């Protein structure tokens, strides 16, 4: 009976390890990201702290030089939250307040992140094509401080597999 319990315990451990690895699959990183040297951070969330966390994470990583415009960047890191901010000049403001119901999509059909999360996207600046993305929880300080870790890990994993 003890042998059977031991065998079942070992089998359960191997199953748990296998399912953890299967759930840890990461999407491949584009060669454009691997070749990039400059990055622009485009914060489309109403939270300026997220941009600060992204910049701090990128500086700590040290892989990219952060530039001040998408025209100077090899890639763009875009942050999309569960709501977004869009600048509208006062000359284009409507005369009456007419709020629209919230939708899970931006005006251009792109999906917002779930509440308490941020969608991190890496884009090609000229075409706007998506090179990589993930959704990360950003509900607390610890999660926010790891905002760019998913990209960092995906790049490291891709470079290791290329060797």
Q: What pLDDT is attached to residue 96?
A: 62
Determine the CATH number of domain 28-84+107-163.
Answer: 3.30.160
Q: What pLDDT is attached to residue 33?
A: 96
Read off the pTM.
Answer: 0.70
Q: What pLDDT is attached to residue 112?
A: 83
Q: What pLDDT is attached to residue 17?
A: 42
14-36 pLDDT, tens digit per residue, is: 444 443 433 444 568 999 999 99
138-162 pLDDT, tens digit per residue, is: 989 999 999 999 999 999 999 988 7
Q: What pLDDT is attached to residue 83?
A: 72
3-class DSSP string for the chain: CHHHHHHHHHHHHHHHHHHHHHHCCCCCCCHHHHHCCEEEEEECCCCHHHHHHHHHHHHHHCCCEECCCHHHCCEEEEEECCCCCCCCCHHHCCCCCCCCCCCCECCCCCECCCCCEEEEEEECCCCCCEEEEEEEECCCHHHHHCCCHHHHHHHHHHHHHHC
Class of residue 144 by CB neighbours under 10 A (exposed 0-12, middle 13-18, buried 19+): buried
| Ranges of each domain in the chain | 28-84+107-163
Q: Which residues of the chain have pLDDT under 50?
A: 4, 6-25, 99-108
């Amino acid at each position: 009976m003890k042998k059977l319990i031991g065998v079942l315990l070992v089998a359960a451990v191997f199953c748990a390890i296998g399912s953890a690895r299967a759930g840890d699959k990461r999407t491949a990183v584009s060669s454009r990201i691997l070749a990039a040297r400059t990055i622009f951070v485009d914060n489309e969330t109403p939270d300026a702290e997220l941009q600060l966390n992204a910049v701090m994470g990128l500086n700590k990583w040290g892989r990219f030089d952060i530039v001040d415009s998408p025209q100077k960047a090899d890639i763009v890191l875009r942050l999309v939250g569960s709501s977004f901010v869009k600048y509208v000049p006062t000359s284009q403001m409507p005369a009456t307040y007419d709020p629209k119901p919230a939708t899970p999509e931006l005006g251009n059909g792109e999906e917002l992140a779930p509440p308490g999360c941020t969608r991190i996207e890496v884009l090609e600046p000229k075409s706007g094509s998506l090179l990589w993305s993930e959704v990360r929880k950003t509900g607390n300080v610890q999660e926010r401080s790891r905002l760019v870790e998913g990209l960092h890990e995906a790049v490291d994993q891709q470079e290791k597999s290329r060797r």
